[in-house]
Amino acid sequence: MNREYHKWYSPALQREMELLVFGTGGAPVIVFPTSMGRFFDYEDRGMIGVIGDRYESGLLQGICVDSVDKESWYNRGIHPKYRALRHNDYDRYLVQEVVPFIRSRNRHPELITTGCSFGGYHTMNFALRHPDIVTGAVSMGGAFDIHQFIGDYYDENCYFNCPPDYLPNLADNWFLERIRAQRLVLATGETDICLKANVDLGTIMSRKGIPHWLDIWRDGTGHDWPWWEKMAVKLLLP
């Protein structure tokens, strides 16, 4: 399988950022790591290997990005205002740097996002905020409410990065038409700590007329890598 390591200085984040690319073509998939995770975690946890045939055959191309969670939502040492602003820096990095990097090498019409746990948050938030860029999103065990990171503080940057808040109020047809055309998957388990978060977001999507697949796994499925591996095999397709 083709594997590439890339690193560059990010103008948006004002520091160096790293990523891994798997495969040479097919539908590109931006892979977000779990909470405060690194760009190599998906590979180390076996998530690349379980569907390695899809990368080798040219069905998919994985782009495993780094996170800045320790500098944004999880950074308890700074005011919540600056946590949200740092996340917006990360969003600019993805839109202005990672997406053009992908498109310079891969012109496939699709662009998918995926991730587990807090990576599921990034997966869905990025897809919903940029439906002109992202055509599908597969969240596994995701949690989508950022209020746990900001306490009583709230501003528009928090609002526009919290899907359970902004999605119910979304009335812009430009966004809604494109979101309704996306393939959105909310995968979770019956014992997953994030089960309610997925059910709640699925309910919001239903009320907004947004097609989606709320895939609740039975047989004691919880919040951990062995289950996410099985979900990736089933769900991560172009």
pLDDT digits (tens, 9 = 90+) for 180-201: 999 999 999 999 999 999 999 9
Which two structure tokens, joined as six digits, stand for 104? 């310079």
Residue 171 confidence (pLDDT): 97
Rounded CA separation 217/226 (Å): 13
Going by C-alpha positions, the residue among 223, 163, 211 that lies closest to residue 187 is 223
Residue 180 confidence (pLDDT): 98
Residue 198 confidence (pLDDT): 98
- Do 204 and 176 touch, CB atoms closer than 8 A? no
Number of Cβ atoms within 10 Å of the Cβ of 69: 24
- The rounded percent of the chain whose pLDDT value lies above 90 is 100
What is the number of structural domains in the chain? Answer: 1
DSSP-derived pairing of the beta strands 112-116 and 60-65: unpaired
- Mean pLDDT for 92-97 is 98
Assign residue 103 the CATH number of its domain: 3.40.50.1820
Residue 4 confidence (pLDDT): 98
Residue 178 confidence (pLDDT): 98
pTM equals 0.97
Residue 23: domain span: 3-235
Beta strand residue intervals within the chain, DSSP E: 3-10, 15-22, 27-32, 60-65, 112-116, 136-140, 183-189, 213-217
- Mean pLDDT for 27-55 is 98
- Mean pLDDT for 35-64 is 97
Residue 14 confidence (pLDDT): 98
Place of tokens 């951990």: 224
- The rounded percent of the chain whose pLDDT value lies above 70 is 100
Mean pLDDT of the chain: 98
Task: Quick: pLDDT tens for 138-174.
Answer: 999 999 999 999 999 999 999 999 999 999 999 999 9
pLDDT-derived band at 105 (thresholds 50, 70, 90) equals: very high
Task: Quick: pLDDT tens for 67-91.
Answer: 999 999 999 999 999 999 999 999 9
- Mean pLDDT for 9-26 is 98
